Structure 1
Amino acid sequence: MAPSATRTRQWLPYTAAVTAGLVVIAGAFVFVRQREAGNNCATVLQVNSSTEKAALLVDLAERYNRSDRSIDGGGCAQVHVSALNSGKATEALATGWTHTGLPQPQVWLPTSSLWTGQLRLLDEAAGRKLQTPDHYPSIANSPLVIAMPQPKAELLRKRGPLGWGEILGLSGRDGWAGFGKPEWGRFTFGKDNPNLSTSGLAATIATYYAAVQRSSDLTRDDLADPAVTQFVRRIEANVSHYSDDSVDLLRSLAEADLAGGAGSTDDMSAIVLQEELVDLYNTGALSPRQDGQERGRRPNVPLVAVHPKEGTFNLDHPFVVLPSADDRQRAAAADFQKFLTEGDQQESFARLGFRDHEGRASAELLASVGAEPTGGLNYFTPPDPEVVSAMLDGWRTLRKKANILIALDTSGSMLAKVGTRTRFQVASAAAGKGLALLNTEDRVGLWSFSSETKQRPNSPYREEVPLGEFDEKRVNSKIAGMAVNGGTALYATVRAAHRELVDRYDPQRINAIVVLTDGKNEYSKDNDLARLLAEVALDPQHPVKVFCIAFDRESDFATLDQIAKASSGKAYDATDPAKIDEAFVKLVSSF
């Protein structure tokens, strides 16, 4: 749901990763604990940062705390940094910062001013004093780009300047044949879900701007224009699947590249993301590393940042001083903001692939990601927050639809207790929350699986709801009525479900299998993992992806991860059952 005058968007959590000294921050939020600098400053400044730069901000805050700087009025300040993704922080600030487990911030450092606009909209709707009424200075910048493997980017550039629609929407079904490379297959691309990710949100807005052929003043009337709707729908139709974390996507791509494989994202011709991630990928920051290494090997095939001719969006990383700051904290915030924009600190941002606080790219960055267009980049002006809200409301109906076959483990171990409920009850509740996020135009089927039982004597799996028009009540009713017993027939079920999706493949939809299990394969009649991995291996012409949730500590997450990666899907670690709701939300947001 989008924020409006009467309701608040339920910003969904997602896993984010950040490389700063190659520290990874994962989860809906992380509190970053810092070393104490040893001084006794009376003023404490709590800073909350978006996750992609939080580890760097921790280092810079420590550097600040060790310095001999003084703030206006005398004395010094201690800066402490916590981390929360920008969408989740927007929700927390709009609801009093409760239930985060993090200190109340006086300074907020989201990824983009898009979020300050959304918070302003939520405050207006609630009749509260505005927390983000102004425009704010940047501490770093990173434009949105279309990242493509170098050979594909170079071929595309030979056509001259191309727009968002020509790159992401024109080729579609004809694919690379229109560029003289039929062996490269269809043209599909990856993007983050705009409800989860700043880059996904910016990519969606950029698509609308390209549709209206303007760089500013997008209106709600524009969103309702049938020609605009058709343009956006055509681009969304070429999405391979919606990622909850483009960093994970790039890590998988780097791993496959260095292993000499075709790549777990081989069905994608491009990924829409922020420029800084292209640099991190190309410099080995997202590659597998040996112990003690700061970075891994550089990929064999680098990515190139392609800039659409209409322009792009800039993620401006604003420095926001919140009303919760008192006078001393405001003075400390002003000094910390000045500190972050000074040379040594800006060099630290540059080493992570950011442009400086005035939007300038270093020569090293451009050498890594590719040159800018002659004359530099054109940037879209952010729309009014009300337009962004309406856009996200409409995106739910315009996004690419899915064929989803859900396979739910009903083996006897699902009767084990998690607190006062059984594993099956916890999993069923999580599945219900995830199903509520699907589009009514999706097609959904439901299977149950275990070894043969009295209720299912002839097969380790059973079709509970045929793949077809999504009927949420029917699916939930079937889940509630399932019998739980037997062993875990994981391989046989995944194999059969994959065959079913291949047979019923729809090129106009995301075709995916969702497997939820609390165990490992216990079915002696089918115990051949190598054959299963070969059978589910991604066919770029007819991609069927397997997404797995490893539920409870008895789950064989390593094997589920192998199965998912073979198909270019993803495995979600919910071996702590408390995380299953979050895992299901992330998974469903891929469709």
Structure 2
Amino acid sequence: MPGRHRDPRRNTALRATAAIAAAALVLAGSFLVYRQLNATSSCEGEAPLSVAASADIVDALRATADSLNQQKVAVDGKCVAIQVTMVEPADMTAALADLNSVSLTGIGQPSGNTQIPDVWVPDSATWLARLTTAAPAFQVAQAPSIARSPVVVAMPEPIAATLGWPAKTPSWTALLGAMTSGTGLRVGIVEPTRDAAGLSGLLALGAAAAGTGANSQAAATGALRALASGRSVLRDDLLARFPRSKDPAALKSALSAASLSEQAVIHYNATKPPVPLAALYLEPAPTALTFPYAVMPGLPTTKAGVAQRLLDEVRQPAFRDRLAALGLRAADGTYGSALATPKGAPAAASPNPAATPSPAATVAAVDRALSTWVAVTLPARMLAVIDVSGSMLERVATAGGATRAQVTLEAARRGLGLFDDSWAVGLWTFSTKLQGDRDYKQLLPIGPLSQQRNQMLATLGTITPKPDGDTGLYDTILAAYETVQRDWDPGRVNSVVMMTDGDNDDDNGVSLEQLQAKLKELADPNRPIQVVILAIGDKINPAPLQQITKLTGGGVFQAKDPAKIGEIFLQAISLRSAAPAS
């Protein structure tokens, strides 16, 4: 068959058309690139924004910020310059608490290296709730959640299987019983004053203990002591204590359970350990990690605009993918296929608004839990001094007609039940002229509870007020301070805990001015002694007491309703670790 004739003019036309089309595509592409460059390069100078974030989410935020910086995104005509740094939430909480002149249970003094950022992204909204409750003037502009990680009970899979996993999940009550009934379950916790997941688990166990009826305090105390014996300061240290072999002996001697974030379990299992961890999603679900995006108050307009631009960006699908790569869920609790969740994980883990407590209720529960925790775990040497003046015979209507002395002694007995054998405790009473002209009387010297717990309990049962006794408060404070100072122990928190319902009314003793002068003379910053005063009732004047504790460290805690002395006692004990006043 003869070949088809090709028209050279047609070929030339086709080549010309193709060339024109190619040129058009190049020009169109160039125009699009020009538009993009023009859109992102029309900024001059910098619009800086500092962001401090929890280690769990910092990489996702830093990648997002870097992308905006590289695109030269403009806010108010200036190029955004967002810097993201990692800061531990407890450290930032300490810095913000110090800035706002408040103290939070379990939060120490801030590091001099912690800088207040423009935006703070801690792992939990609890940090913010505690700060804003203690310092009402500190209110962040906004703090929406930008990620989520449920809090689970992590167990080696062979141990979880003995509790019915994965077919069923034990209840908190069942877990509490296993912890305190000698089953050999070795539990651990990351220090809950610094770790949000540890705190969340502590709150859940506390709620379970409260539901055990008459035995609630014994159950709570047993759980706290079990957790305290297995606590770790760092999460990595706790994870290292899980078993590295399925051998029964290894399983028995290693850590059996701990409250951790879902993210922590995902990361642990991603290392392909010999014994993977099961994640138990117990109900009611503990408070999840929600990563609030907290814009600090008082930002200038441009910085506030940059903060909003970054927030808009983290609400895009690309950020959800970055979260999944870190083992985190999106803020609504959902996740994509890139997130390898543990077996049995819910498809969504969003909060139930009807079951979510108010911020005030959350903070109150946190304060109670941490007060009790610190009381149990902080080694101490304490002299307890109890008022036995005549006013302590006054009846308390809100306590069923019990006297002030009775509710105070009951608080002391309950507190004693929390202290383990590492504590050293002494006991005095005071009024006026209890021993000759002396206003105070030693019932037991300061000694280890391992040797005198039963004697302490028995002695508390013999204390009765002196009907005609007045309140020799200042003489007693001075004598108690000197006694604790005499055998000061560098390995413990040394403290005097005074429980009184009255102002000093001993005209024959030292005055307030004389007491202050003597305490200034005695105080040694290298041998601090905390003076903690529990003021019982609403008639006592706290001002002179605060002048005293300002010199020594410690604090004044007033139970206007004497029936609440037990709660106030725990708060007071928990703040013994505060640094002495300078």
TM range (shorter): 0.5 to 0.7
Q: Does 1:207 align with 2:205?
A: yes
1:274-300 Cα deviation digits (max 9, x unpaired): 11000000111xxxxxxxxxxxxx112
1:148 is aligned to 2:181: no
Alignment-derived partner of residue 170 in structure 1: 178
Query: Percent identity of the aligned residues?
Result: 24
Alignment TM-score, normalising by the size of structure 1 = 0.51
CA spacing shift, 1:265–1:60, aligned 2, 3 Å: farther
Mapped to 2, the partners of 1:374 and 1:81 lie a distance apart of 31
> Conserved in 1, the CA contact under 8 Å of 2:231 and 2:238?
no
Deviation, 1:472, is: 8.3
Identify the match of residue 258 of structure 2 among 251, 264, 271: 271
Cα distance in 1 between the residues matched to 2:68 and 2:321 = 15
Specify the code of the residue in structure 2 equivalent to 1:114.
T
Deviations along 1:436-473, whole A, 9 cap, x unmatched?
A: xxx8534269xxxxxxxxxxxxxxxxxxx999469987
Report the Cα distance in structure 2 between the residues aligned to 1:162 and 1:192, rounded to whole angstroms: 22
* Cα offsets for 1:232-270 (capped at 9, x unmatched): 33432432411111222224548x459x99669933211
3-state SS of 2:56 partner: helix
Q: Determine the C-alpha separation between the residues in 2 that align with 1:140 and 1:95.
A: 28
Q: How does 1:172-251 map to 2 (within 5 A)?
A: 172-175=180-183, 186-211=184-209, 228-239=216-227, 240-251=229-240
**Equivalent position amino acid for 2:47 in 1:** T
Paired residue secondary structure (2:129): helix
The Cα of 1:396 is off from its aligned counterpart by 3.1
Within the candidate set 443, 447, 452, 2:422 is matched to: 443
Q: Secondary structure at the match of 1:247?
A: helix
In the alignment, does 2:318 pair up with 1:315? no
1:329 maps onto 2:277 in alignment: no
Q: Distance in 1 between matches of 2:239 and 2:206?
A: 26
Contact 1:169 1:234 (C-alpha < 8 Å) held by counterparts: no
Of residues 131, 139, 145, the one that matches 2:139 is 131
1:341 aligns with 2:315: yes
Which is higher, the Rg of structure 1 or of structure 2? 2
Which of 354, 358, 374 in structure 2 is aligned with 1:396?
Answer: 374
Q: Distance in 1 between matches of 2:328 and 2:90?
A: 21
- How many angstroms does 1:107 deviate by? 0.5
Aligned position for 1:76: 79
For the pair 1:369 / 2:333, whether they are aligned, the reply is no
Q: 2 CA distance for matches of 1:263 and 1:402?
A: 30
Contact 1:46/1:103 (<8 A) preserved:
no
Distance 1:333 1:85 in 2: 20
Contact 1:119 1:132 in 2 (8 A): no
Distance 1:330 1:265 in 2: 54
Q: CA deviation at 1:361?
A: 3.2
SS at match of 1:333: helix
Counterparts of 2:485 and 2:315 in 1: how far apart (Å)? 54
How far did residue 478 of structure 1 move? 8.4
Report the AA paired with residue 161 of structure 2: E
For normalisation by structure 2, the TM-score amounts to 0.52
User: Alpha-carbon deviation of 1:335?
Assistant: 0.9
Q: Is the 8 A contact 1:140 1:357 kept in 2?
A: yes
Structure with higher helix content: 2
Instruction: From 94, 110, 116, give the equivalent of 1:91.
Output: 94
Distance in 2, Cα, partners of 1:53 & 1:265: 34
Q: Hey, what does 1:53 align to over in structure 2? A: 57
Change (3 A) 1:169 1:237: farther
> Is the 2:209–2:216 contact (alpha carbons within 8 Å) kept by the matching residues of 1?
yes
Secondary structure of the equivalent of 1:131? coil
Aligned partners of 2:491, 2:287: CA distance in 1, in Å? 43
| 2-structure distance, mates of 1:59, 1:374 | 26
- Quote the RMSD (CA, aligned, Å): 3.9
Amino acid in structure 2 at the alignment position of 1:62: D
Q: Any idea what SS the aligned residue of 2:74 has?
A: coil
Selected match of 1:358 from 316, 326, 332: 332
Identify the range of structure 1 (77-86 vs 53-62) with the bigger mean alpha-carbon deviation: 53-62
- Return the match for 1:105 from 117, 124, 133: 117
Matches within 5 A, 1:555-570: none
Decide whether aligned partners of structure 1 residues 394 and 403 sit closer, same or farther in structure 2, where only a CA change above 3 A counts. closer
The 1-side partners of 2:139 and 2:333 are apart by: 25
Q: Distance in 2 between matches of 1:403 and 1:157?
A: 41
* Contact 1:147/1:273, CA 8 A, preserved across alignment: yes
